[in-house]
């Protein structure tokens, strides 16, 4: 599994939106350093409170490049609100390259690779889709907001699949504003 945070955006905008609730940013589009610090303090008090108190996290976006086995992507599809994905299309890419061990999470039996290659060469799309192992690696660009990430990290950081543990730890260690996940990882 490969995970890479490509970009993050929306922190300043989230703080401006948060300031509206307190009439601190109603007449401004820019934050002074003092106001930014004050709103960051408010954000640190609210980030772990649900029921709309932490909705500013919905304005903070992260784009993540994830190469993972199909079984991981299948579970990641559980999270459908506040996120979008663009992925390698099996239909458009499966016939382009011969099957190799590097295309799978774990080594495949040679007989499986050979059979998949027969299906690929014969352009048997349905046969390939039927036989393609769940360990087949696919790449997706995942756009998700911090509120959804909090939910994912809370639910998956101790998951029995090592891929989820890796993903959660990577996000926590590498996020620009990991302070909004501190409570999840301090338990």
Is the predicted pLDDT of residue 82 greater than 80, yes or no?
no
Q: Which pLDDT belongs to residue 92?
A: 81
Q: Which pLDDT belongs to residue 88?
A: 80
Q: Residue 56 — left, alpha, or beta (φ > 0 → left; ψ -120 to 50 → alpha)?
A: alpha
In a domain, 84, yes or no: no
In a domain, 178, yes or no: yes
Mean pLDDT across 11-32: 92
Order of strands across the sheet that contains 61-69: 2-9, 61-69, 137-145, 83-87
Question: 147 near 55, Cβ under 8 Å?
Answer: yes
In a domain, 135, yes or no: no
- Binning pLDDT at 50, 70 and 90, where does residue 28 land? confident
Residue 168's CB is within 10 A of a number of other CB atoms, namely 23
How many domains would you assign to the chain? 1
Is the predicted pLDDT of residue 148 greater than 90, yes or no?
yes
In a domain, 93, yes or no: no
- Secondary structure letter of residue 159 according to DSSP: -
In a domain, 25, yes or no: yes
pTM over 0.85: yes
Full 3-state SS string of 37-86: HHHHHHHHHHCCCCCCCCHHHHHCEEEEEEEEEHHHHHHHCCCCCCEEEE
């Amino acid at each position: 599994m490969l995970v890479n945070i490509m970009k993050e955006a929306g922190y300043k905008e989230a703080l401006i939106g948060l300031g509206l609730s307190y009439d601190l940013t109603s007449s401004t589009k820019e934050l002074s350093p003092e106001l930014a610090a004050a709103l960051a303090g408010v954000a640190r008090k609210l980030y772990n409170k649900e029921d709309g108190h932490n909705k500013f996290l919905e304005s903070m976006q992260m784009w993540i490049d994830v190469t993972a086995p199909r079984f991981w992507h299948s579970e990641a599809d559980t999270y459908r609100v506040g996120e979008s994905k663009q992925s390698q299309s099996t239909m458009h890419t499966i016939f382009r390259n011969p099957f190799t061990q590097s295309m799978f999470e774990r080594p495949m039996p040679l007989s499986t690779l050979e059979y998949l290659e027969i299906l690929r060469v014969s352009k048997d799309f349905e046969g390939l889709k039927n036989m393609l192992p769940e360990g087949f690696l696919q790449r997706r660009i995942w756009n998700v907001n911090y509120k959804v990430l909090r939910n994912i990290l809370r639910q998956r950081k101790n998951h029995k699949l090592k891929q989820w543990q890796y993903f959660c730890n990577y996000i926590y260690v590498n996020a620009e504003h990991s302070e909004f996940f501190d409570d999840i990882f301090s338990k």
